[in-house]
Every structure is written in C-alpha cells, then in structure tokens.
Amino acid sequence: MILVAGGTGHLGIELVPLLTARGIPVRILTRDPDRARQRLGETPQFAKGDARSPNTLEGALKGVDTVVSAMTGFGPGAPGPKAVDYEGNLNLIRAAAAADVRRFVLVSIHGVTADHAMELWRMKYRAEEALRASQLDWVIVRPNAYMELWAEIVAGPIFKDGKATVFGRGDNPVNFNSAKDVASFVALALFDPDLSRTILSIGGPENLTLNQLVGQAERAAGRKAAVKHVPLPMMRLMSLVMRPLKPDVAAMIQGGIAFDTVDMTFDAGDLRRRFPQIELTRMADVLARQGAATTTPTSAELSH
C-alpha cells in the first residue's frame, strides 16, 4: 500500500490515477476526504489526517510500505511552508520510520538551498535533510514549476476574457514541467532500486519567459490578449505590506518576484538521456488541452 500525502493537488491528481490504473493500492492522506473523493473517485482509499498533527498519521500508515509526500503549505489560504513543507514532512518521516515503511519519496523543488531567499525552498531543504538523516530508504524528487498551474494562472484569463497579468517584466526564462511527467518520474522513484538514496532533478523540455507563455497562450486561444505587467517595485512593496496581514499572499508575491529575477532555467538533456521512456510534455500541448477544455461549448450552450 502506498500512502500519498498531497494526493489531491496538481501533482496528486496525475499521480494517483497513474498508480491505481496499474493496480497499485493507494491511500490518500487528506484533511478533507469528501472533497478528495469528489476529485479522485472511489478507487483509492482515503485517510483523514493532517501532517501537522502527528497523532493523525499512525492510523493512515497502517499496512503502508511506501510513502509519497507531495504536500505543500505554499499557496492562497495555506498554512505556509514551515508548518507543512518542513514540520509536516518531519512528522510524516518520523511516523513512517516508526511504521516500518520501506521507501519514502519526497517531492521537493529544484534549486533548494539552506539559505535560499524564498522560505519554501529553505523549508524543502530542511525536509530533505531530515529524510536523508532518517533510517528510511529515500528518493528526493526535485521538479521545476508545474505547467498546469502556470497555464491556469497566466493563460486561464486569456482563454476566459482575453486578459493577462504578467508579474514583473516577464523576460526571465523559467523551466516548466508538466505535473503529468513529474507523476511518471515519481512512479519510477517508488520502485526503481537504482534510485534508492538519490536526488532526481526533473525539468521540462524548454525554458520560457512569462511573455513567451502569454504568446503561446494567445496562439492557443486564437486571440491577442490585453497584457498588464505588475512592476517589480510595486510587487516588492506589496509583499512587505502584506507580510504581517496575509503572509500566504506575501509569499506568493515573493514567488512572483523570484520568477522575474532568479535563475530558474534547467537543462533537461541529462534527464532525457537517462529516462528516454518518459517523453517530456511541451507547454504548447498543455495549453492546447486547456484551451480545448475551456473553449469547447457545451451542448446546452450551443442550443441557446
């Protein structure tokens, strides 16, 4: 049995069906099993729990031999990276070791360092350190930015009403990988003996600036967008002002600043050579899927 923490997120909804389709028994650790069931259907098992509360983890781990942690506390309304990405992972690592789990796959993030400017990267680094120091057999997977999430953020409004917001200048190249591809690599990490105690950096086939992403979304939507840039000084000011009031929003603005200023490129050459069986998805394919899902009129709409 595989326990997936974060099974209901962008990555989880790609990973869980991939595993259950292969007949692998999966249990999802979730704070809201009803919502999780709506998202993932009845095939996986659901365990109500919260990684911040160690006493909810013991039951979830009964009969489990492998754990995937794909959870995060980064996002709107979320409790933050320290509470989930570090402390939650620490609780889960300790509980997994106590439950005699065989392998623990931690989904981290590309570019983590102990002193990174972004709290999320620092907290992932601390979780990695805790896992490496444990008695567990481990694999650390470090993906880049998920295409599906950024297609929602940047391209979603273009498909919907022809508008786009770009954080900063939008000319810093960033590597995007599809959550579908990351799920395929995590599935490998679950069983491949060669990956034991290794760090696997994952990236997509191309580095794109946000301006290029807007261009690709415009082509997929078949229309030009009215593009608004949020200037970097304004983002810096907003992040400072929001920090005491809404730390989740301040952290996301900081993420936007990092997107515009930090080297976020990745060369997928080595990954392709090592894993030729996983074909890396291009952003244009994700946008085409998103466009088809957004713009295909329903039969009810057609009849009006």
Ligand X SMILES: NC(=O)c1ccc[n+]([C@@H]2O[C@H](COP(=O)([O-])OP(=O)(O)OC[C@H]3O[C@@H](n4cnc5c(N)ncnc54)[C@H](OP(=O)(O)O)[C@@H]3O)[C@@H](O)[C@H]2O)c1
Please state the closest distance from residue 301 (CB atom) to ligand X, in A: 29
Please state the closest distance from residue 197 (CB atom) to ligand X, in A: 19
Residue 44 engages ligand X in binding (rule: CB under 6 A): no
**By C-beta, is 179 or 221 nearer to ligand X?**
179
Neighbours of 200 (CB within 10 A): 20
CA 107 – CA 100 distance, rounded (Å): 20
**By C-beta, is 73 or 205 nearer to ligand X?**
73
Q: Choose, by CB under 6 A, the member of 12, 44, 255, 291 that binds ligand X.
A: 12
CA 87 – CA 83 distance, rounded (Å): 5
Stretch that binds ligand X, among 17-25, 46-54, 131-139, 159-167 (CB under 6 A): 46-54
Query: At residue 245, what is the residue type?
Result: L
What is the DSSP-derived secondary structure letter of residue 111?
T
Residue 96 engages ligand X in binding (rule: CB under 6 A): no
**By C-beta, is 108 or 216 nearer to ligand X?**
108
**Residue 89 · residue 128 · CB < 8 Å:** no
The phi, psi pair for 153, rounded to 5°, reads: -70, -50
- Decide: helix, strand or coil at residue 247: helix
**Residue 5 · residue 29 · CB < 8 Å:** yes
* Number of residues that make up the chain: 304
**By C-beta, is 179 or 295 nearer to ligand X?**
179
Question: Would the CA dihedral through 109, 99, 29, 44 be positive or negative?
Answer: positive
CA 251 – CA 258 distance, rounded (Å): 10
Ranked by CB distance to ligand X, the top (closest) residue is 9
Residue with tokens 């099974």: 7
Q: Choose, by CB under 6 A, the member of 3, 26, 40, 51 that binds ligand X.
A: 51
Binding mask 152-181 for ligand X (x = CB under 6 A): ------------------------------
Stretch that binds ligand X, among 48-56, 154-162, 245-253, 258-266 (CB under 6 A): 48-56
Stretch that binds ligand X, among 28-36, 165-173, 236-244, 252-260 (CB under 6 A): 28-36
**By C-beta, is 143 or 168 nearer to ligand X?**
143
Residue 149 engages ligand X in binding (rule: CB under 6 A): yes
Residue with tokens 């990954």: 271
Read off the tokens for 94: 């300790």
Residue 36 engages ligand X in binding (rule: CB under 6 A): yes
Residue 264 engages ligand X in binding (rule: CB under 6 A): no
Stretch that binds ligand X, among 128-136, 141-149, 223-231, 282-290 (CB under 6 A): 141-149
Q: Which residues have C-beta within 8 Å of that of residue 137, sequence separation ≥ 6?
A: 102, 103, 104, 196, 197
Chain positions contacting ligand X, by CB under 6 A: 5-12, 29-32, 36, 50-52, 70-73, 75, 84, 88, 107, 109, 143, 145-146, 149
